């Protein structure tokens, strides 16, 4: 491909499994990104891509994933600033990523987080990969925010669902955004603190993020996941297949734009 291709993997919790399906479609059709960015669960997919992991490698581990692998309830959630301590998440990311600096990845990578102190977007372009991804995935009130260089960082989806702007900064000439959370699952009941936190993010995401200027990519891939609750792990195979179908549909347009 003549033009530099960049892929932005968007936020969406368990809907992020669709990213792996899109990756399968791209692998089968010879589409390779020159740089990647990610937000929240999309930062995990982007990191794996930048590490050179195949969709098979990622999906094999996702299929074994359970909630207990990520959730470690905090006894003192006020001091912890969240209901979960995030230590399990950090260990899991370190297990699969190793101790890797972002600058040492196979291709340019960045993930985004929100600085709770300034309210501004933080773009990770260096530093420990696992820590950066954990910060990008730290849903406010649910997972404890991450302190980095005097900043208090949480889920980047608070400000931007698919980091297309960041992708352009890395030098992408053709941009692809995989927006797995374009259709919010808004009918879920509100029963506890978790539900309130999740629903608040969903409402904010769909009332603010979609209209952000400069966030539209040349190709936007939107898997049909409107009936999927992003905070459950019950529909892994369905989510994966929907991602694959959406990825296949986008192949020819991406090839044409990259010529």
What residues are annotated to the active site? 40, 155
Rounded CA gap, 118 and 120, in Å?
Answer: 5
Rounded CA gap, 73 and 197, in Å?
Answer: 15
Rg over alpha carbons for the chain, rounded to the nearest Å, is: 17
Rounded CA gap, 213 and 221, in Å?
Answer: 18
How many CB atoms lie under 10 A from the CB of residue 39? 32
Q: Say if CB 39 and CB 112 are below 8 A apart.
A: yes
Rounded CA gap, 30 and 105, in Å?
Answer: 21
How many CB atoms lie under 10 A from the CB of residue 3? 13
């Amino acid at each position: 491909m003549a033009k530099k291709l960049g892929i932005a993997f968007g936020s969406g919790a368990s809907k992020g499994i669709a990213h792996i399906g899109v990756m399968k479609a791209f692998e089968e059709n010879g589409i390779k990104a020159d740089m990647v960015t990610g937000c929240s669960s999309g930062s995990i997919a982007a990191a794996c891509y930048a590490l050179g992991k195949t969709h098979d490698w990622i999906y094999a581990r996702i299929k074994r994933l359970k909630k207990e692998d990520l959730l470690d309830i905090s006894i003192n959630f006020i001091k912890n600033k969240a209901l979960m301590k995030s230590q399990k998440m950090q260990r899991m990311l370190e297990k699969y990523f190793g101790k890797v600096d972002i600058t040492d990845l196979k291709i340019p990578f960045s993930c985004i987080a929100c600085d709770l102190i300034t309210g501004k977007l933080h773009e990770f372009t260096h530093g420990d990969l696992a820590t950066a991804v954990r910060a990008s995935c730290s849903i406010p009130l649910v997972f404890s925010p991450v302190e980095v260089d005097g900043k208090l960082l949480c889920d980047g989806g608070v400000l931007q669902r698919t980091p297309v702007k960041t992708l352009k900064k890395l030098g992408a000439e053709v941009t692809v955004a995989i927006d797995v959370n374009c259709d919010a699952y808004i009918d879920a009941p509100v029963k506890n603190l978790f539900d309130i936190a999740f629903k608040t993010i969903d409402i904010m995401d769909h009332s603010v993020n979609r209209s952000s200027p400069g966030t539209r990519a040349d190709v936007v891939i939107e898997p049909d996941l409107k009936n999927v609750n992003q905070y459950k792990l019950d529909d892994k195979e369905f989510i994966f297949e929907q991602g694959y179908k959406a990825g296949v549909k986008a192949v020819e347009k991406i090839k044409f734009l990259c010529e």
